[in-house]
């Protein structure tokens, strides 16, 4: 952001102004795609795939439904179960949200547009995404209810199991790019000529499955298996806290889609435009948003289509199929990288 | 490993439904999901109710003799009937005056009514009829008690009996028609 702001406004802002601006833009960058995803995909696309219309009354074609939901959740009573561990129960949604907001820091938006230029970008992203597991466990335990606890334990098992395929699928991309730096990965895709989704198609497939599981979306939504556990670890939450979890779920979907777009679909690059052009500083974020919407479309398409996995089928898929496949992918990628 | 071909077929089903809902007139026409979806957007578009739909109960008070059968059989006790006996003139000159029941009050409390239709079924004089009207919500619960005049108004909405099936034996019986 620094060169962008200074070139745009022709001033060099002090560090604290820069930080505040980044915080504001970071909030917008997370919440705006979340709202768009919730409306476009959750309300509308899933409805059309079920041959129904979704919200139509609030605003034109139901566009203000999110605002109505926001207002509805704000005015609800904040319920604490009587024997619940108050601090753990209250802090859980914030832990989940913190991991999401930290994830958005590493996304590159253009050759000079970024929040923070970390040399270990993708490593930081994978590490920080694991913090949300703690939040979900806190929610399950702090609710002092057997359904929530079961949901929380199932979530912990599932999320830990799918961490490995997620990270290993990314390693293939890192080998091809030669760097952990997100901007370096985007530059490597521009140099390589073709986006990494083509040579890393197995890695992309594993990444999509692992992301679906990390977001606890169907077919991997055992922790929130609505018909079985009410809402699993979310059962005892009401009002604003529930809305925070809800936002966290869709914000994480948005951010993971953006990370997937950066790793596999070439980030902010457009096929025939020079990757270092000045104009990409401004168009880059929009291009990234479009690719993020495409990957999120895939995530929600899988969500609406498939029935739920049982917990043991889910674990078997992760440990016995995805991890060997991703290791195989890494070996083949490394061989190709060395030989050619 | 779940079976891959089946999974792709599943994706195909949702994709096809999506396209059929958003582009019901084919890919060249502009998207029209309101037309393609199965949803009937109720207050703006109203579906015709099916034949013999049961909405509200109407009273043909000329047929009612205040026999109290409907009030007795109602599972919810939501029918309130009051009547008195009157003397009608004899049929032939020199005969005894006849006792007739006159209806004073016939209320159905539609807040209590469970729309089971037992009263309509049980009435021996065919005084109660089903009407397909259902849009009669009120602001106050007490207004859901429909009195004799309002029940008589509902008679205008009762449809004619559906025609007999071709080849069915036509019953020659004095069946009171709703419009009489």
Quote the CA–CA distance of A35 and B39 in Å, as a whole number: 24
> Between the CA atoms of B71, B72, B73 and B79, what dihedral angle is there, to the nearest 10 degrees?
20
Supply A248's token pair: 């966290």
B34 interaction partners in chain A (CB closer than 8 Å):
53, 56
Element (H, E) at B99: strand B98-109
- DSSP SS3 for B103: strand
Q: What distance in Å separates the CA atoms of residue B16 and residue A58, rounded to the nearest whole number? A: 28
Question: What are the boundaries of each domain within chain B?
Answer: 4-36, 56-157
- Residues B144-151, mean pLDDT to the nearest whole number: 93
Q: Do A51 and B21 touch (CB under 8 A)?
A: yes
**Both structure tokens of A186:** 């985007």
Which of A75-79, A321-325, B157-161 holds the top average pLDDT? A321-325
**Which ranges of chain A does DSSP label H, i.e. alpha helix?**
2-9, 15-37, 46-49, 65-74, 86-103, 121-129, 131-142, 146-177, 182-192, 201-214, 226-229, 239-264, 280-305, 311-316, 323-339
pLDDT, one tens digit per residue, over A103-115 is 888 888 888 778 8
Report the Cα–Cα distance between both ends of chain B, in Å, rounded.
71
Query: Distance between CA B150 and CA A132 in Å, rounded?
Result: 62
pLDDT value of position B173: 58
**CA A45 to chain CA mean position, Å:** 19
Length of chain B: 180
* CA–CA distances in Å: residue A171 to residues A104, A167, A181, A213: 20, 6, 12, 18
Cβ A51–B20 below 8 Å, yes or no?
A: yes
Partner B contacted by A328 (CB < 8 A): no
pLDDT for the residue numbered A318: 92
Residue A2: pLDDT above 80? no
* pLDDT tens-digit series, residues A17-44: 888 888 888 888 888 888 888 788 888 8
- Cα dist. B12→A305, B4, B15, B148 in Å? 9, 12, 5, 58
CA dist., res. A123 & res. A163, Å (int)? 12
Tokens of B165: 């099936």
The partner residue sitting opposite B39, judged by closest CB among A53, A305, A321, is: A53
Residue A229 pLDDT exceeds 70: no
Give the DSSP letter string of A236-260. T--HHHHHHHHHHHHHHHHHHHHHH
Asked if A324 is an interface residue toward chain B (Cβ–Cβ < 8 A), one would say no
pLDDT at A117 over 60: yes
- Which residue from B minimizes the CA distance to A55? B41
Cβ of A48 within 8 Å of Cβ of B1? The answer is: no
* pTM for the predicted model, two decimal places: 0.83
| CB distance A289 to A270 below 8 Å | no
Q: Does A52 touch chain B (CB under 8 A)?
A: yes
Q: How many contacts, defined by CB atoms under 8 Å, are there between A and B? A: 45
| Range in A43-57, A326-340, B73-87 the model is least confident about | A43-57
Q: B151 phi and psi, to 5 degrees?
A: -65, -35
Mutate to test the interface with B, among A40, A43, A44, A48 (most CBs of B within 10 A): A48
Q: Report yes or no: B39 at the A interface, CB cutoff 8 Å.
A: yes
Residue A278 has φ and ψ, to the nearest 5°, of -60, -35
Closest residue to A50, CB basis, from B1, B17, B36: B17
Residue to mutate among A60, A62, A305, with most B CBs inside 10 A, is A305
pLDDT tens, A160-205? 999 999 999 999 999 999 999 998 899 898 888 889 999 999 999 9
Structure tokens at A53: 């219309």
Tell me the sheet residues that pair with B86: B100
Cα A37 to Cα A29: distance, rounded to the nearest angstrom:
12
CATH architecture of the domain formed by B56-157 = 2-Layer Sandwich (3.30)
Better-scored residue on pLDDT, A116 or B68: B68
| Partners of residue A317 in chain B, C-beta under 8 Å | 1-2
**What are the chain A neighbours of B32 within 8 Å (beta carbons)?**
none
Kindly indicate the confidence band of residue A15, based on its pLDDT and cuts at 50, 70 and 90: confident
Of B169 and A215, the one with more pLDDT: A215
Whether the CA torsion B119, B122, B127, B130 is positive or negative: it is positive
B11/A48 CB distance under 8 A: no
For residue B70, the model assigns a pLDDT of: 94
Q: Which of B20, B22, B37 lies at the smallest CB-CB distance from A52?
A: B37
* Residue A88: both structure tokens together: 């753990």
């Amino acid at each position: 952001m620094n060169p962008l702001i200074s070139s745009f406004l022709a001033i060099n802002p002090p560090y604290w102004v820069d930080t505040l601006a980044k915080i504001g833009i970071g909030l917008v960058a997370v919440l705006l795609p979340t709202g768009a995803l919730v409306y476009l995909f959750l309300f509308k696309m899933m409805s059309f795939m079920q041959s129904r219309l979704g919200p139509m009354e609030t605003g034109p074609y139901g566009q203000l439904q999110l605002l109505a939901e926001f207002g509805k959740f704000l005015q609800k009573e904040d319920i604490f179960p009587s024997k619940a561990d108050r601090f753990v129960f209250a802090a859980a949604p914030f832990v989940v949200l913190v991991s999401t907001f930290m994830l958005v820091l590493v996304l590159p938006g253009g050759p000079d547009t970024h929040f923070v230029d970390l040399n270990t970008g993708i490593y930081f992203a994978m590490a920080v995404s694991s913090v949300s597991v703690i939040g979900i466990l806190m929610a399950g335990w702090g609710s002092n209810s057997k359904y929530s606890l079961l949901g929380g334990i199932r979530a912990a098992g599932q999320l830990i199991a799918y961490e490995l395929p997620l990270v290993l699928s990314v390693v293939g991309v890192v080998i091809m790019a030669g760097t952990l730096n997100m901007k370096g990965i985007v530059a490597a895709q521009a140099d390589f000529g073709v986006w990494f989704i083509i040579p890393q198609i197995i890695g992309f497939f594993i990444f999509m499955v692992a992301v679906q599981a990390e977001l606890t979306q169907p077919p991997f939504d055992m922790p929130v298996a609505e018909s079985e556990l009410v809402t699993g670890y979310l059962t005892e939450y009401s009002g604003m806290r529930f809305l925070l979890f809800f936002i966290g779920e869709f914000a994480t979907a948005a951010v993971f889609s953006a990370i997937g777009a950066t790793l596999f679909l070439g980030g902010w690059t457009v096929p025939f435009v020079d990757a270092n052009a000045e104009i990409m500083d401004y168009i880059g974020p929009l291009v990234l948003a479009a690719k993020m919407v495409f990957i999120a479309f895939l995530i929600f398409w899988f969500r609406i289509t498939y029935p739920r996995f049982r917990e043991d089928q889910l674990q078997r898929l992760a440990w016995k199929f995805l991890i060997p496949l991703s290791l195989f992918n890494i070996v083949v990628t490394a061989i190709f990288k060395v030989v050619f | 490993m779940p079976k891959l071909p089946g999974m792709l077929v599943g994706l195909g089903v949702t994709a096809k439904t999506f396209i059929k809902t958003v582009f019901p007139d084919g890919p060249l026409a502009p998207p029209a999901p309101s037309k393609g979806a199965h949803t009937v957007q109720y207050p703006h578009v109203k579906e015709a109710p099916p034949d013999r739909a049961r909405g509200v109960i109407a009273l043909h008070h000329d047929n009612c003799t205040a026999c109290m059968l409907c009030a007795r059989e109602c599972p919810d006790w939501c029918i309130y009937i009051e009547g008195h006996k009157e003397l009608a003139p004899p049929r032939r000159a020199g005969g005894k005056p006849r006792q007739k029941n006159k209806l004073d009050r016939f209320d159905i409390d539609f807040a209590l009514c469970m729309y089971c239709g037992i009263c309509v079924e049980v009435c021996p004089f065919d005084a109660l009829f089903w009407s397909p009207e259902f849009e009669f919500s009120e602001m106050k619960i007490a207004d859901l008690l429909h009195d004799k005049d309002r029940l008589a108004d509902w008679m205008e909405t009762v449809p004619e009996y559906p025609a007999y099936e071709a080849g069915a034996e036509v019953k020659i019986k004095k069946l009171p028609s709703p419009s009489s």
